[in-house]
Amino acid sequence: MKSVSKLAILLPILFLCGTSWAQVKGEEVAVLTPPPSVPPAITRKHATKLIVNLEVIEKKMKIAEGVDYTFWTYGGTVPGSFIRVREGDLVEFHLRNHPTSKMPHNIDLHAVTGPGGGASASFTLPGHESVFSFKAINPGLYVYHCATAPVGMHIANGMYGLILVEPEKGMPKVDREYYVVQGDFYTKGKFGKQGYQPFDMEKAIDENPSYVVFNGSTLSMTGDNALKANVGETVRLYVGNGGPNLVSSFHVIGEIFDKVFKEGASEFNTNIQTTLVPAGGSAIVEFKLEVPGNLVIVDHSIFRTFNKGALGLIKVEGSGDKTVFSGKTADNVYMPEGGAIQKVVDKEQVATASTLEDQLKFGKTIYAQNCAACHQPDGKGIVGAFPPLASSDFFNADWKRSIDVVKNGLSGAVTVNGQLYNGVMPALGLSDEDISNVLTYISHSWGNKKRIFKKPEVSSVSTRKDKGGGH
């Protein structure tokens, strides 16, 4: 008798759960977006049958300026199209493999509860389509990826992306949402080697990538492709890591994450500087913008950023709050060894070099203190990371541009003496006097065209608000 009464209570509960799941109303086709875009927030208050059409395309694209690679993609981009569904949705997945593909492919979605995340159900030959469906039970941000053998190679070629399962109550509104996924790539040629570069299995097994990039290329979020936002706005990044091998120490130079939904969890932590994003994992980060300038998205395993391409920019426009960040307000001479300590608040009052000899002497000091760390004491730079100033065709070609570089910083691809660089040179905040001296020193050193830079020339090149560096 006892067990019967228990059953009598349990049955209606089971029935209720069952009905709430069964309440799938209507049918929709999911909006998919390429990176760095995110589909619009779901406003629906009920679960639906959501049809996702995703096409696998194998194609050649740029991994860096002048470097081509054959990517295997979901939807034609790396990472693949962003998929946005709602908790409780019945997702009907259509995986198509383009007839020109050379390989079979499938998809393992970490948002799926079921064998292989859908991998064997979605195994698809070129020129075929597979259909399977799943219930989006757990809200969160999930990686999807190819799981066809050799799995590592399919992932290394760019076969991953993110699927967001919005909680029933929706995501809080923010001003901007972006889609950023890190990946490591293994090419026969080392970083920056020009021309077509095939996949290198040995480097992949050794976990020794030639490239570590966001959104499939060193160019995805630099120059004109920089992400955009305004002072006063709140930005949300849906961050993923496709791997195949590396774990990301995800960081944005010049910001603190107000909220981090670590590993795509439902609860958030606050005030985080750097968050780990595992290979095959994710994070949702949010921050409010208080000051203008360039924010730099990096993997804080920092050689990956400055030497392997893991760098993206967020261009923040608007007027800044000087109480949040003042910029440099003073440039003091500091000489504890007994020199006259001179406080210079107004940069215009710095002693002026009146002769070329003075300019060279002052310029040499400024170079040693501000430039040598990157461009090296001998001006020869570091191949692939910091361009040379010694006999630099770039430096000698356009003196106005050289002033602009030192004044405002530089980012994006540049070719110096035939070698490609795609790094970030920060604006250093030097006075016009200092800039004229350091440029005069450089132009009189290491085989450069001897040219005297005068302070008024430097002043005539305007200071841009959107400085190149930001850190």
Residues that bind ligand HEC (CB under 6 A): 370-371, 373-375, 386-389, 392, 394-395, 402, 405-406, 410-412, 414, 416, 421-426, 428, 438, 442
154 binds Cu ion (CB under 5 A): yes
Buried b (16+ CB within 10 A) or exposed e, 351-370: eebeeeeebbebbbebbeeb
Residue 148 binding partner per list Cu ion, ligand HEC, none, with a CB distance cut-off of 5 to 8 Å that depends on partner kind: Cu ion
H helices of 296-392, where? 303-308, 356-370, 372-375
156 binds Cu ion (CB under 5 A): no
End-to-end, the C-alpha distance of the chain in Å comes to 73
Parallel, antiparallel, or unpaired: how do β-strands 140-145 and 160-166 relate?
antiparallel
Residue written as tokens 């890591």?
A: 241
146 binds Cu ion (CB under 5 A): yes
User: Partners of 270 in the beta sheet?
Assistant: 259
d(C-alpha 227, C-alpha 36), whole Å:
8
In whole angstroms, the minimum distance from the beta carbon of 125 to Cu ion comes to 12
Joined tokens for residue 76: 């034609």
Q: How many CB atoms lie within 10 A of CB 271?
A: 9
Give 39 or 126: the residue with its C-beta nearer to Cu ion.
126
In whole angstroms, the minimum distance from the beta carbon of 154 to Cu ion comes to 3
Q: How many CB atoms lie within 10 A of CB 349?
A: 12
In whole angstroms, the minimum distance from the beta carbon of 471 to ligand HEC comes to 8
Contact 112, 93 (CB under 8 A): no
Give 39 or 152: the residue with its C-beta nearer to Cu ion.
152
- Contacts of Cu ion in 277-306 (CB under 5 A): none
d(C-alpha 247, C-alpha 278), whole Å:
5
In whole angstroms, the minimum distance from the beta carbon of 308 to ligand HEC comes to 13
Residue 140 binding partner per list ligand HEC, Cu ion, none, with a CB distance cut-off of 5 to 8 Å that depends on partner kind: none
Residue 374 binding partner per list ligand HEC, Cu ion, none, with a CB distance cut-off of 5 to 8 Å that depends on partner kind: ligand HEC
Give 74 or 257: the residue with its C-beta nearer to Cu ion.
74
In whole angstroms, the minimum distance from the beta carbon of 301 to ligand HEC comes to 17
119 binds Cu ion (CB under 5 A): no
Residue 144 binding partner per list ligand HEC, Cu ion, none, with a CB distance cut-off of 5 to 8 Å that depends on partner kind: none
In whole angstroms, the minimum distance from the beta carbon of 231 to ligand HEC comes to 25
Parallel, antiparallel, or unpaired: how do β-strands 248-253 and 293-299 relate?
antiparallel
Residue written as tokens 């799981």?
A: 147
Joined tokens for residue 90: 């019945």
221 binds Cu ion (CB under 5 A): no
Give 96 or 154: the residue with its C-beta nearer to Cu ion.
154
Give the interface with Cu ion as residue ranges (CB under 5 A): 105, 146, 148, 154, 159
